[in-house]
Amino acid sequence: MVVNNVSGDVSGAAVEMRDAFGATLVELGRQYPQMITLDADLHTSSKATMFKRAYPDRFVQVGIAEQNLFGISAGLALSGFMPFPSTFAVFATRRALDQIAISICFPNLNVKIPGSYVGLPTSRAGASHNCIEDIAVMRALPNMRVADPADGADLRAIMRAAAAVQGPVYFRIARMAMPPIFGADHTFEWGKGVLLREGRDVTLFGTGIMTTFCLKAADLLASDGVSAEVVHLGSIKPIDRELIAASAARTGCAVTAENATINGGFGAAVLEVLGEECPVPLQRIGVRDRWVDSGGIKELFTHHGMQPEDIAVAAKIAMQDKRRRKQ
Amino acid sequence: MHLLPEKLCELDEMAYQIRRLSLEMITYGKWGHIGGAFSMAEFLSVLYFQVMSVKPDKPQWDDRDRLVLSKAHGSPALYAVLALRGFYPIEQVYSYCELGGFEGHTDMARTPGLESSGGPLGMGLSVAVGMALAMRFKENARGRVFCILGDGESNEGNVWEAAMSAAHYHLDNLIAIVDYNKVMAKGFVWDEMAIEPFADKWRAFGWDVIEVDGHDIPALVDAFHRARWVMPRGKPIVVIAHTVKGKGVEMAEFNYKWHTHAPDAATADAMLRELARNYQRPELGYSKFGAEEVKEEFYGGE
């Protein structure tokens, strides 16, 4: 089923993901009086500053102290509040992993964790700031939900869905302007993917900003006579096992694409489902067990083999594997 | 601070029972930290039976005082005092370290009256800061958050991040208690990683400091009275409780070899009798003789 509010067209005016983040924080702040946004000296970068301006009394600055950021959030959640501790993804999931795991996830506290500046596009900051292992790490934590939005509307829907459930959520925000895939009425459901484009020959499973790259790859493949199905899986944990297995069964081979390391991340999550439910040839696009150095955004995506052209090549390799196995 | 003799007797009895139950559950559970549970007995007794405002029949009562056990390996002493205070039947503490029972380190989902979950050191004071901020958001001026830290635990950087923020937010509704028992898991604090000048460190971080003999019940009553009602002036307060690790049983006193160590039934029996003699109580030994033998042995060393 193709959702009717999806155009699959990525030619619209791009929206900065972090602007959508800031605007949605403000929207949720209006809806949830118990919501508190916390920051560790990065609010003008993450755009949490928009919440600070709207609700200065519900904004807590903790300085450059991420372990404390998540501990304080746990204490607020234990007192009935819904904290959004906001910082760069690297500082959340690397520096404060123990606090997230034991102070927040273990007691299943109602803390919503935005990870800003994920993956490759981080304004030339280099390996220390390019967060590539957060999907793998966060999805390994019991109780944690994990999501990676494709565009501004998807991010807004994910944040609404995060606030609507009880328990910890980790969601990613790339520092990138993304063309709209989804309409303003887009909704998000935990554990549900979206079939963006139907196809016969190969499935492209995308998450986060890579879903747009998958749509572009499908266009490239179409010009070569290949019919590619495109599935967006914004909800990485829980993941839509049914949709993954059904699509792979139809097309017989697949490619995953993520703005992160392929080790233990999104591609691995899809691979787990396919291995258990419907083993088909699979190629994974993402960072291949290496650090992401400084560089221009386009340059980095090319360097790491993560451009739409790379996805198209991977699709053809997967299709070759499929043919070879049939012989 | 005025303290009736009967109240003093009750607090003393509760400190004895905290030690007794801690040793029982560590022996029966075949795992645990005797030293760090024993050193907290007096101040836990004073907190739960004299200082803190809690309702055992309504553990989620919104205006209650809160206590975060940051040194969560001291859990047996907390499980004991919560049972004695009436949060659950005393027999329930024997589920300690059983599959599905009370956790080795604190799990608030398993134990009524627990305000947080923990285990890794250094994290609890941040959680307490969050709770103290929450009281401010809710305009609850009477409530207090207590947080118990270990001395060795203050090697952790997170403690000082939390300390800095508590002073920044003027959280005089936050009272930290350091169980300064001088002994860590594998050695002495001064030798493993020195923390002195300790009181000066807290003062430098913007806290008011009270130092007290952590086994002197009238002194503790006085210290908490001052911390709660007399001293608040826009600064968080730390009560540095000078204690003896393993206090109450000679073999475990001031001895890091009893940091993590479950005694066998015969040793526990002798320890409990010694404890009873020290408290001039009827000589009561180990109550679960034989029962623990059927359990799987999974930890034998220190």
SS (H, E, C) chain B: CCCCHHHHHHHHHHHHHHHHHHHHHHHHHCCCCHHHHHCCHHHHHHHHHHHCCCCCCCCCCCCCCEEEECCHHHHHHHHHHHHHHCCCCHHHHHHCCCCCCCCCCCCCCCCCCCCCCCCCCCCHHHHHHHHHHHHHHCCCCCCCEEEEEECHHHHCHHHHHHHHHHHHCCCCCEEEEEEECCECCCCEHHHHCCCCCHHHHHHHCCCEEEEEECCCHHHHHHHHHHHHHHCCCCCCEEEEEECCCCCCCHHHCCCHHHCCCCCCHHHHHHHHHHHHHHCCCCCCCCCCCCHHHHCCCCCCCC
From the candidates B106, B127, B133, B169, which should be mutated to test the interface with A, based on the most A CB atoms within 10 A?
Answer: B127
Confidence tier at A124 by pLDDT (50, 70, 90)? confident
Q: A150, A178, A206 — which closes off a domain?
A: A178
| Cβ within 8 Å, pair B157-A102 | no
The pLDDT of residue B2: 81
- Residues of B at the A interface (Cβ-Cβ below 8 Å)? 62, 66, 68, 107-109, 115-120, 122-135, 137-138, 157-158, 161-162, 164-165, 168
The pLDDT of residue B28: 94
What is the rounded distance in angstroms from the CA atom of residue A265 to the CA atom of residue A269? 6
Q: A152, A178, A204 — which closes off a domain?
A: A178
Query: Does residue B299 fall inside a structural domain?
Result: no
Same domain? A173 vs A211: no
Query: Does residue A115 fall inside a structural domain?
Result: yes
Same domain? A108 vs A226: no
Q: Name every chain A residue with its beta carbon within 8 A of the beta carbon of B107.
A: 106-107
Query: Does residue A127 fall inside a structural domain?
Result: yes
| Cβ within 8 Å, pair B109-A75 | no
Query: Does residue B96 fall inside a structural domain?
Result: yes
Same domain? A155 vs A208: no
Q: What is the span of the domain harbouring residue A260?
A: 194-326
Nearest to A74 by CA among A27, A119, A28, A108: A108
Q: Name every chain B residue with its beta carbon within 8 A of the beta carbon of A67.
A: 122-123, 126, 157-158, 161
Query: Does residue A317 fall inside a structural domain?
Result: yes
State if pTM tops 0.90. Answer: yes
What is the rounded distance in angstroms from the CA atom of residue A321 to the CA atom of residue A314? 11
Query: Does residue B247 fall inside a structural domain?
Result: yes
Same domain? A162 vs A62: yes
Query: Does residue B41 fall inside a structural domain?
Result: yes
| Cβ within 8 Å, pair B119-A79 | no
Same domain? A304 vs A264: yes
Query: Does residue B242 fall inside a structural domain?
Result: yes
Same domain? A203 vs A141: no
Same domain? A243 vs A145: no
CB-nearest partner of A71 from B119, B123, B135: B123
Strands A145-147 and A235-237: antiparallel
CB-based contact (8 Å) between A80 and chain B? Answer: yes
The pLDDT of residue A267: 98
The CATH number covering residue B94 comes to 3.40.50.970
> ipTM score here?
0.95
Query: Does residue B301 fall inside a structural domain?
Result: no
Residues above pLDDT 70, as percent of chain A: 97
Same domain? A260 vs A221: yes
pLDDT greater than 50 at residue A2: no
Q: Name every chain A residue with its beta carbon within 8 A of the beta carbon of B116.
A: 74-75, 78, 103, 107
Same domain? A127 vs A256: no
Query: Does residue B114 fall inside a structural domain?
Result: yes
Query: Does residue A234 fall inside a structural domain?
Result: yes
- Tell me the nearest-neighbour CA distance from A34 into chain B, angstroms: 10
Tally of structural domains, chain B: 1
| Cβ within 8 Å, pair B137-A68 | no
Question: What's the pLDDT tens digit per position in A43-76?
Answer: 999 999 999 999 999 999 999 999 999 999 999 9
Q: What is the span of the domain harbouring residue B43?
A: 5-55+63-294
CB-based contact (8 Å) between A33 and chain B? Answer: no
Question: What's the pLDDT tens digit per position in A223-258?
Answer: 999 999 999 999 999 999 999 999 999 999 999 999
CB-nearest partner of B119 from A58, A83, A102: A102
B146 DSSP β-pair partners = B67, B175
Same domain? A174 vs A198: no
Confidence tier at A8 by pLDDT (50, 70, 90)? low
B197 cis-preceded (ω within 30 degrees of 0): yes
Nearest to A246 by CA among A231, A258, A235, A236: A231
The CATH number covering residue A147 comes to 3.40.50.970
The pLDDT of residue B299: 54
Same domain? A150 vs A202: no
Query: Does residue A9 fall inside a structural domain?
Result: no
Other beta carbons within 10 Å of A279: 11
Tally of structural domains, chain A: 2
What is the rounded distance in angstroms from the CA atom of residue A23 to the CA atom of residue A39? 16
Q: A178, A208, A231 — which closes off a domain?
A: A178
Show pLDDT as tens, one digit a residue, over chain B (302 residues). 789 999 999 999 999 999 999 999 999 999 999 999 999 999 999 999 999 999 999 999 999 999 999 999 999 999 999 999 999 999 999 999 999 999 999 999 999 999 999 999 999 999 999 999 999 999 999 999 999 999 999 999 999 999 999 999 999 999 999 999 999 999 999 999 999 999 999 999 999 999 999 999 999 999 999 999 999 999 999 999 999 999 999 999 998 888 888 999 999 999 999 999 999 999 999 999 888 667 776 655 54
What is the rounded distance in angstroms from the CA atom of residue A38 to the CA atom of residue A43? 9
Query: Does residue A4 fall inside a structural domain?
Result: no
The CATH number covering residue A314 comes to 3.40.50.920
Query: Does residue A183 fall inside a structural domain?
Result: no
- Tell me the nearest-neighbour CA distance from B171 into chain A, angstroms: 13
Same domain? A37 vs A83: yes
